[in-house]
Amino acid sequence: MDSDASSTCSRSSSPELAVDSRFFSNKMFQAYCADRETEPRSDRSPQSAGCGGKVRGRADLSKDDLQDLRLKVNSRERKRMHDLNQAMDGLREVMPYAQGPSVRKLSKISTLLLARNYILMLSSSLEEMKKLVGDVYGAGGSARRVLPPASSAPASQLPLLSLGPALHSLVGGASQHASVPTVAQAPRSPPASGYLGFHAPALPTLIKDPLQHLSGGYRHFPGMPCPCSLCQPLPASTASLHSLSMGK
């Protein structure tokens, strides 16, 4: 079963079941043990003989000891893979694709590809924003005087929030917009297209080409909510990254 999706998948091979000693009905292990008993010892190299390949000093282990050893190794490997799947889930949680019980989980390969392209896209956005900020303030500009003295927004976001309209005139393709977009999704996690600030492309497209949607902008209406990435509060992780990048 998917350790990382036990709620949606009902595979028969849960870790607990496999760890159980009943596991030794396993055909592979039985075949291995039979093989081991029939195979002449002289034919085995030190590396390839026995369970796990490390046999030196284990040749005299009893069958039970070998089974225990094999169990331990299997258990460790299982745990390792579960940890890997947990990490993969953590990655899925921050990926910009629809999530929910009715939505099929991203495959591992898709998750990795999407993550890579998502990072590329965000990096590109960041670079573009930095360029625009530089343009707006000018080389010798005094940004501090322009910024509002107090705001409920985190300090790292102030420049972007105040610059949103200006940036829109530079970034936003005025041709591509629609009516006032719907409110961005909940800020807890950023998986939504709303967070990305553009209409969500089809997942396969985003996996293949993350940058082609950057040009699609929103027109900024004063006083109206805007879902674009420039006007959205950044999630904590992104905000910290942003502050680091902008701080130089």
Partner DNA sequence: TAGGCCATCTGGTCCT
Partner DNA sequence: AGGACCAGATGGCCTA
Contact residues for DNA (CB under 7 A)? 1-5, 9-15, 18-19, 23, 26-29, 32, 47-49, 51-54, 56-57, 70, 72-78, 80-82, 85, 105, 107-110
Q: Residue 52 or 134: which CB sits closer to DNA?
A: 52
**Integer Cα distance of 221 and 179 in angstroms:** 10
Q: Residue 80 or 131: which CB sits closer to DNA?
A: 80
φ/ψ (deg, to 5) at 232: -90, 140
* Angle at which helices 108-137 and 63-93 cross, to 10°: 40
**Integer Cα distance of 119 and 193 in angstroms:** 15
Q: Smallest gap, in angstroms, from Cβ of residue 30 to DNA?
A: 8
Q: Residue 207 or 226: which CB sits closer to DNA?
A: 207
Q: Smallest gap, in angstroms, from Cβ of residue 18 to DNA?
A: 3
Q: Smallest gap, in angstroms, from Cβ of residue 199 to DNA?
A: 23
Own/partner long-range contacts of 235-238 (Cβ < 8 Å, ≥24 apart): 235/187, 235/189, 235/190, 235/195, 237/94, 238/122, 238/190
Q: Residue 14 or 243: which CB sits closer to DNA?
A: 14
Q: Residue 82 or 199: which CB sits closer to DNA?
A: 82
Q: Residue 13 or 176: which CB sits closer to DNA?
A: 13
Q: Smallest gap, in angstroms, from Cβ of residue 26 to DNA?
A: 5
**Integer Cα distance of 117 and 55 in angstroms:** 45
Q: Smallest gap, in angstroms, from Cβ of residue 229 to DNA?
A: 28
Q: Residue 134 or 204: which CB sits closer to DNA?
A: 204
Quick one: tokens of 193?
């297209």
* Angle at which helices 108-137 and 158-171 cross, to 10°: 90
Q: Smallest gap, in angstroms, from Cβ of residue 208 to DNA?
A: 14
**Integer Cα distance of 144 and 14 in angstroms:** 58
Q: Smallest gap, in angstroms, from Cβ of residue 235 to DNA?
A: 25
